[in-house]
Amino acid sequence: MAAKTERTFIAIKPDGVQRGLMGEIIKRFEQKGFRLVAMKFLQASEDLLKEHYIDLKDRPFYPGLVKYMSSGPVLAMVWEGLNVVKTGRVMLGETNPADSKPGTIRGDLCIEVGSTMASKTERTFVAIKPDGVQRGLMGEIVKRFEQKGFRLVAMKFLQASEDLLKQHYIDLKDLPFYAGLVKYMSSGPVLAMEPHPWQ
């Protein structure tokens, strides 16, 4: 059977976000040669989760799953590539982390964790530029932020328009590199992030 290009949905659950594992997980998919086509960082409502997990509603763990998945932000992603569905399942490991082999995401990274903590801090915006996205460096860059003690509280994967970028870089409009910067930043998708230090 020939390999085919397909898409799959992958979500990093609240404990993975809280523990700073987003970069490692993204990096593993990038290293397999898969392409990130969509990403959304969100706090899922119980209503959204009940709809998403509707096929599990009669299972005894369903109420706990909905409560857990709504306990903190999740990173929802769509990856594209040859046989990404089957390969993604192998990369993730068994549904029960205790049954997952070393080398899989669940086998290497899953543990049970308690509640998360939040704190107020000054807001900072960071973007992984088009060349970083195209070169498959998102996972490594996110991982470095996490290793340096930052948690990412917001993320958005987007193709920025020239109009949006002109507005964003309005303070630089009189500088000689302004036009080139706007053109470069609109040349491909970017990953916009808001890092906060752990307190």
Which residues make Cβ contacts (< 8 Å) with residue 197, sequence separation at least 6? 121, 149, 150, 151
What confidence tens digit (pLDDT) does each residue in 93-107 have? Answer: 887 666 778 888 877
Going by C-alpha positions, the residue among 29, 34, 30, 28 that lies closest to residue 6 is: 34
What is d(CA 80, CA 87) in angstroms, rounded to the nearest whole number?
11
Structural domain boundaries in the chain: 5-197
Residue range 107-149, pLDDT digits in tens: 777 754 322 222 223 456 778 888 888 888 889 888 888 887 7
Helix (H) or strand (E) holding 100: none
Residue 75's nearest CA partner among 161, 30, 142 is 142
pTM: 0.63
CATH class of domain segment(s) 5-197? alpha beta
Element (H, E) at 61: none
Is it the case that residue 56 has pLDDT exceeding 80? Answer: yes
Give per-residue pLDDT as tens, 12-32: 988 888 888 999 999 999 999
State the pLDDT at residue 117.
Answer: 25
Q: How far apart are CA 184 and CA 73, in angstroms?
A: 31
